[in-house]
Chain A
Amino acid sequence: MLHTLRTYFSSDFDWLPGLDTPHYYPQLAGKLLLHCEIPLDEPHLMTALSQNVLIKVPGLDHHFWGFRCRRCGNKEQHLFAEIPHAICGKDCVYCRSCIQMGRVMECESLYFGSSNVSWPRLENPCAWKGKLTFSQQKAADEIRNVIQLGKGEKLIWAVCGAGKTEMLFPGLTEAFTSGKRVCLATPRTDVVRELLPRLKSAFPNVEMEALYGDSPNKKGAAQFLIATTHQLLRFAHAFDVMIIDEIDAFPFHQDPALHYASKRAAKTESSLIYLTATPRKAQHKRIRNKTLPVVFIPTRFHGHPLPVPQLKLTPNLFHHLKRGKIPPSLLEKIKQQQQSHRQLLIFMPSVKQADQIAEYLRKWKMVVESVHAEDPKRADKVMAFRKKHYPILVTTTILERGVTFPSVDVYVVDAGHSVFDEAALVQIAGRAGRSPDDPYGDVIFFHTGKTNPLLDARESIMKMNRLGEKL
């Protein structure tokens, strides 16, 4: 009784069999798949099952007080429903929470693949010849220690533009020389797309794969996976090293299914590394209680301080936004900005407003693009902006993090809106001044009244700068 109670409330994975059959199917290693997702034909599947490479586990946990989905950890009873199932002829329960990735049912099994595949041990996998700064080196050493040890957690709390990706390189080198399997997970597709070419050039000989919702390749058979956190729903006890980038980002930080999946995707003995620029309450609490070891890096890699946002009161903002316009003062500011050599990134609270404002600015003969989450040309537009093909990009919070533009000014219109919380504003401000050639940039928050997130964001940036000066 107590035991089942515990399995219901905690995310223990003792239902996963301790499977360590060695095998040569990298596409099955550490996977938790539905029958239709298995990349083998029926006879091969049978041999894999008989050799204990794959093991069947029930898809749902049935407790006295309700169900729990083993794939996504869902235990909200309103997210379970019944279907009159034609195959077994009974009413079967299925999970509605993760149905986007195929239906997990009471009467069907999940297939768990043994993760004991011997991955290649590479000598000198790292081709990156850059040099880390003093504080980057400090963090890099800590990361390498955790990976060498093979277990433990570490939070890397580094300001936007501290060079987090580069800090990982010594640790990754260590992992690949000792034949470990690594996953770099992040909540954002854009971040995956941006990281892949950088990591590919740094580790040219490592087998690498990017996994996201509409990625061309979905095998998940490589030694090094760069994936969105949603893709981890298909993995179990797969990785020796698990790196989660931007742990505070939407949707990871408030989706329990993703926490559940990322916890399950790591092996029981594994190194967990979290990267963030803006830790949330939960992490702050663990840092205070000293249960989460942390490395703190308050300076950017080029050593210049973070641009401090200016707050600008525009009382007539809503009056103009309602009519699909922007106040004359703001328009004047944008025109002025266009005289400078920098590009301009404008953040709006909603997709509709972003499109409207882009349209409005086009009337003033400016070259403007707008981009939002569902935009089919999103990746191309962002790429073109990075290559300086056009001067102004109007966007929503989807570009708040993970993307680097060499030299931009950042304006946030209606910064008091509830979509811009403290973390978002700090991240947005962190888009400016990322290149050593142009380490400054104007960050202006246009608001109709100061809100707590606005002040907190500015306060936390100034605090970082103060701490950075002390070093």
Chain B
Amino acid sequence: MRCLICHEEIIPKITWANFWNVPEKEILCIVCESQFQPLKPGCVLCFREGENGVCEDCQWWERNHPGLLAKNTSVFQYNEFAKDFVARWKYRGDYILLEALQWHVVEHFSRMRNSDCIIAPIPLSEERFSERGFNQSEAIICLLNRRSQSLFERRNSEKQSKKGRYARITSNNPFKLTHPVHQPVILVDDIYTTGTTVRHAASLLKQAGCPAVTSFTIFR
């Protein structure tokens, strides 16, 4: 067995408790595993760490565009290690890396109310999609072992990660709703930074009469 991230060999520890068992398949070594920081409870709306009640960003959103996003759930901190991880997985296209997080992601997702919800990916522009060869949101939904239903189309191809905070919050809505729905929706994306992307998508859903929109992101 080798660590999916650093390729080091993983030598399972043998104790009396697991002496007779076939060793479990491990994906990550202890060193890499410990680099991912699980989020501590924070803002009730967006999971930002170290906040009591509603954080400033969410207050801003609620003042200007009330009720777009009911709640965001995230799993890990977007720290330096996670940045490298995402760069390798998403931009370099090392698809299999995501499996490293499967256990945690599935666990967190199952804690959300999700039984009667539609799970929708955030679309990529045509250009990015053919460049990368996969859609990161769909990859996450695939990891969750759920069926995704694509509701949106993307109009332009600007990268959010290349923009500043203000430019992001005030940017135009890049999405177009193609399939209006009347069920609760969970939007799935990889990173939640300012929350603009998911709120853009949520605003379209709300206009079309969707009762509740929540979002699930791996990194925050």
Q: Does B142 contact A (CB under 8 A)?
A: yes
Which one, B17-25, B93-101, B202-210, is touching chain A? B93-101
Interchain CA distance A211-B65 in the complex, whole Å: 50
Interface string of B103-137 (1 = CB under 8 A from A): 00000000000000000000000000111011100
If the complex has contacts A84-B134, A86-B133, are A79 and B7 also in contact, measured as CB distance less than 8 A?
yes
* Interface pair B88/A99, CB less than 8 Å apart: yes
Closest CB-CB distance, A81 to chain B, in whole Å? 4
* Interface pair B142/A103, CB less than 8 Å apart: no
- Least CB separation from A101: chain B residue: B92
Interchain CA distance A293-B96 in the complex, whole Å: 45
Interchain CA distance A96-B94 in the complex, whole Å: 7
* Interface pair A99/B96, CB less than 8 Å apart: no
Closest CB-CB distance, A236 to chain B, in whole Å? 22
Interface residues on B, range: 10 to 19
* Interface pair A99/B92, CB less than 8 Å apart: yes
Q: Contacts of A78 on B, CB cut-off 8 Å?
A: 2, 7
Interface string of A222-235 (1 = CB under 8 A from B): 00000000000000
Q: Does A194 contact B (CB under 8 A)?
A: no
Closest CB-CB distance, B154 to chain A, in whole Å? 14
- Least CB separation from B96: chain A residue: A81
* Interface pair B92/A36, CB less than 8 Å apart: no
Interface residues on A, range: 10 to 19
Q: Contacts of B133 on A, CB cut-off 8 Å?
A: 83, 85-87, 103, 105
* Interface pair B92/A100, CB less than 8 Å apart: yes
Q: Contacts of A85 on B, CB cut-off 8 Å?
A: 133-134
Interchain CA distance A239-B129 in the complex, whole Å: 37
Interchain CA distance A79-B134 in the complex, whole Å: 19
Q: Does A82 contact B (CB under 8 A)?
A: yes
Q: Which of B7, B131, B142 has the most CB of A within 10 A?
A: B7
| One of A79, A83, A86, A100 near B130 (C-beta < 8 A) | A86
Interchain CA distance A86-B92 in the complex, whole Å: 15
Q: Does A252 contact B (CB under 8 A)?
A: no
If the complex has contacts A78-B2, A78-B7, A79-B7, are A99 and B130 also in contact, measured as CB distance less than 8 A?
no
Interface string of A286-317 (1 = CB under 8 A from B): 00000000000000000000000000000000
- Least CB separation from B92: chain A residue: A99
* Interface pair B92/A103, CB less than 8 Å apart: yes
Q: Does A94 contact B (CB under 8 A)?
A: yes
Interchain CA distance A85-B133 in the complex, whole Å: 5
If the complex has contacts A78-B2, A78-B7, are A86 and B134 also in contact, measured as CB distance less than 8 A?
yes
Interface residues of A in 67-98 (CB under 8 A from B): 78-79, 81-87, 94, 96
If the complex has contacts A36-B131, A87-B130, A87-B133, are A82 and B2 also in contact, measured as CB distance less than 8 A?
no
Interchain CA distance A86-B129 in the complex, whole Å: 8
Interface string of A19-45 (1 = CB under 8 A from B): 000000000000000001000000000
Interface residues of A in 88-141 (CB under 8 A from B): 94, 96, 99-100, 102-103, 105
Interchain CA distance A411-B93 in the complex, whole Å: 44
Q: Contacts of B88 on A, CB cut-off 8 Å?
A: 99
Closest CB-CB distance, B59 to chain A, in whole Å? 37
- Least CB separation from A102: chain B residue: B92
* Interface pair A81/B94, CB less than 8 Å apart: yes
Interchain CA distance A105-B93 in the complex, whole Å: 11
- Least CB separation from B131: chain A residue: A36
If the complex has contacts A78-B2, A79-B7, A87-B130, are A99 and B135 also in contact, measured as CB distance less than 8 A?
no
| One of A81, A100, A102 near B95 (C-beta < 8 A) | A81
Q: Contacts of A79 on B, CB cut-off 8 Å?
A: 7
Closest CB-CB distance, B123 to chain A, in whole Å? 12
Closest CB-CB distance, A73 to chain B, in whole Å? 16
Closest CB-CB distance, A444 to chain B, in whole Å? 34
Interchain CA distance A36-B133 in the complex, whole Å: 13
* Interface pair A83/B7, CB less than 8 Å apart: no
Q: Contacts of B92 on A, CB cut-off 8 Å?
A: 99-100, 102-103
Interchain CA distance A302-B160 in the complex, whole Å: 58
Interchain CA distance A365-B92 in the complex, whole Å: 46
Interchain CA distance A99-B133 in the complex, whole Å: 14
A-B complex: 4 closest residue pairs judged by Cβ atoms: A81-B96, A83-B95, A103-B93, A99-B92
| 11 pairs from A and B in contact (CB 8 Å cutoff) | A81-B95, A81-B96, A84-B95, A86-B130, A86-B134, A86-B135, A87-B133, A94-B95, A96-B96, A99-B93, A105-B133
Given A86-B134, A103-B92, 16 more A-B residue pairs with CB atoms under 8 Å apart are A78-B7, A81-B94, A81-B95, A82-B95, A82-B96, A83-B95, A83-B96, A84-B142, A86-B135, A87-B130, A94-B95, A99-B92, A99-B94, A100-B92, A103-B94, A103-B133
Give the A-binding residues of B (Cβ under 8 A).
Answer: 2, 7, 88, 92-96, 129-131, 133-135, 142
